[in-house]
Amino acid sequence: MPGRNSVLPYILSALSGLGLWALTAAATGKHEPWDASSYWTVSYPLAIIGSAIVGFFFPQKPWRWAVSLMLMQLVVMIATGSDLSLLPLGLVMLAVLSVPPALAGVLAGKLRE
């Protein structure tokens, strides 16, 4: 929707990502959510679905909401005391992992238009 404020979808996607990754880390005891098997079977698919939902309701450049949601993993990793010695590799991994949620958001946004 043209002219719609983009602060709300950033907040929604960031809080969704923060909650999803924090719950994954807490439930599995892993500092990095992607180290848990449930990340790949539950959390990551939920991130893709969540990105599609936000992209549907906020179709203006919906890839941004997916990237915001995925980057919250970095916040959780820092907050849980993860070793950041592999931070550059982790950022590359987060960028790659952002592609499917971004595509889902874009496709959902196209459905809305």
- The pLDDT tens digits for 7-49 are 999 999 999 999 999 999 899 998 888 889 999 999 999 999 9
Asked whether 43 and 70 are in contact (CB, 8 A), the reply is no
- Tokens coding 28: 């599995």
Where in the chain are the domains?
7-112
Nearest in space to 28 (alpha carbons), one of 43, 50, 49: 43
Asked whether 60 and 2 are in contact (CB, 8 A), the reply is yes
> How confident is the model at residue 1, as a pLDDT?
45
Length of the chain counted residue by residue? 113
